[in-house]
């Protein structure tokens, strides 16, 4: 005959084993989700923060150089007595639709 302490031990052991299995399942699910997310991000061809910051710095430098050159041209035009042309209005940007890359 099975005594009460034996039943309690068996139930405790079963609960402990179930928690261990659930913990392993959780770890496996996290690993799978992380791998899936990394693969999805790689397919999206996103840039890293470092790449983004480098391009942003290059654009800021180019903008500053362009503004400095525009001022130099204005000074030279003033010295030569040339009237600067009126600024042309910028054309509206056209939205481009990327075609789906269906395979």
Q: What is the mean pLDDT of the chain?
A: 85
Domain tally, the chain: 2
| Residue 97 lies inside a defined structural domain of this protein | no
- Same domain flag for 36 and 54: no
Domain coverage including residue 19: 1-46
Whether the predicted pLDDT of 20 surpasses 80: yes
Answer whether 0.75 is exceeded by the pTM.
Answer: no
- Same domain flag for 36 and 63: no
Whether the predicted pLDDT of 55 surpasses 90: yes
If DSSP states are collapsed to H, E and C, what string results for 12-76?
HHHHHHHHHHHHHHHHHHHHHHHHHHHHHHHHCCCCCHHHHHHHHHHHHHHHHHHHHHHHHHHHH
pLDDT of 100 reads 64
- Lowest mean pLDDT across 17-21, 52-56, 72-76, 95-99: 95-99
pLDDT of 103 reads 44
Whether the predicted pLDDT of 25 surpasses 80: yes
- Same domain flag for 35 and 6: yes
Give just the sign of the alpha carbon dihedral 27, 33, 39, 44.
negative
Most confident of 6-10, 32-36, 46-50: 32-36
């Amino acid at each position: 005959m099975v005594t009460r302490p034996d039943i309690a031990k068996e139930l405790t052991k079963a609960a402990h084993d179930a928690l261990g299995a659930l913990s392993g399942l959780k770890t496996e699910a996290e690993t799978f989700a992380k791998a899936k997310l990394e693969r999805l991000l790689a397919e999206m061809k996103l840039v890293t923060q470092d790449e983004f910051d480098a391009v942003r710095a290059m654009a800021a430098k180019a903008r500053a150089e362009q503004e400095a050159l525009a001022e130099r041209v204005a000074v030279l035009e003033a010295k030569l007595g040339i009237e600067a042309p009126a600024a042309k209005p910028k054309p509206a940007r056209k939205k481009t639709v990327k075609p789906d890359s269906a395979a």
